[in-house]
Structure formats: C-alpha cells, structure tokens
Amino acid sequence: MTLIVGLGNPGEEYAQTRHNIGFMLVDELLKSHNYNEISKNAFHGNLFKSGSLLFLKPTTYMNLSGKSVQAVHNFYKVEKTIVIHDDLDLPFGALRFKIGGGSGGHNGLKSIDSYIGGEYLRVRMGIGKPTHKSEVPSFVLEAFNEDESAHLDNWVEHTKKATELLIHNSLEHVASRYSLKRA
C-alpha cells in the first residue's frame, strides 16, 4: 500500500490558504482515480482508497497530523508514504522532492516525524515567506494573493503529475523532471 498524505487544516475557513496546499493536491489527485471513502473515527482524517493507493487528509489540524498518519499507517501496513506540504523555505511555485530530513519548523512534519519517523517521501511546495518571522503564523493561514492565484492551477496540475509519477518511480527520476525553482 502507498499512502499519499496532503497536509492542511479542516474547515472552510482554511480551505484556500497556503497551509492547505496539501489538501488541495489530494483533492486534485482524487479526480483522476475511482475511489471509495473509507474514513473512520480511528483514522482521525478523511481517507480514500483506490486500489493499492490511500489518500489521506488529516482532520487533526496541522500540529497533530502524525496521529492520523500513524493510525492509517499501522492499520494498512503502509509500505510507502508520500507527504505533500507547504514549504516556507522555498519561493512561491517552487517544487522539490526529498526523503527524510528536518522539519524546517513545519509543525505537521514535526508531528509525523514523532509518530512514524522521518524516512518518508516529501513533496515540498514552496509558498515563500513573509518579511518578518513573527508574521509566519498569519502568513500560512492567509489565502494566496492575486499574483499567486494566477499561477496556482498550473502549479497544482504540475505537482499532481509529479506525485502520480512518484508512486511508481524513484525520487531521482521524478525530481529531475518535475522540480521547479519558482512559479
């Protein structure tokens, strides 16, 4: 089983925010698959299954995403985990891939690392960062601005294709073809 996790926060007020880019990607991926929703309270998230693929949107809020990932991981004996998340350390529209590494201060990744360890594939979607570190909490919970929104659909589609390829191909293969420096 391969588990694809999109990080975000539940609720309409967060739906179009920078921090929810992972949820947006899972929604786009699901459009290309015949799936069944198999959510249970024990999974702490919205879980969808399509053949040997699982798609998860944790409903624990970002800071406790690991609780949901671990529940699904253990129940389905997941062999490969791909986590899609926003990344402040990359400019808007950048796309990078890696296995493991630090959390970069991302609370969702910190949580996942604490529950299942850090050796999972990461699809890092750059959202840029505000001028001052103190603005980070409000910045990630804001909607994309007008300029960003103009590039959002193409970027999401590009990342969707890369993630689909990552399911059955090596990180190096995908990174060499789909990494982006910016929008």
Residue 124: what residue type?
A: R
19 noted as active-site residue: yes
Cα angle value 112/117/120 (rounded, 5°): 80
Active-site annotation holder among 19, 44, 73, 85: 19
Question: DSSP 3-state assignment of 3?
Answer: strand
DSSP assignment letter at 44: T
Residue written as tokens 């603005």?
Answer: 135
Question: 160 to each of 68, 94, 123, 157, 166, how far by Cα in Å?
Answer: 22, 14, 10, 5, 10
Interhelix angle 21-30/146-168, rounded to 10 degrees, is: 60
Count how many Cα atoms sit within 13 Å of the Cα of residue 61 in the half-sphere of its side chain: 3
Cα angle value 117/165/140 (rounded, 5°): 55
Cα angle value 12/8/40 (rounded, 5°): 85
Active site residue ranges: 19
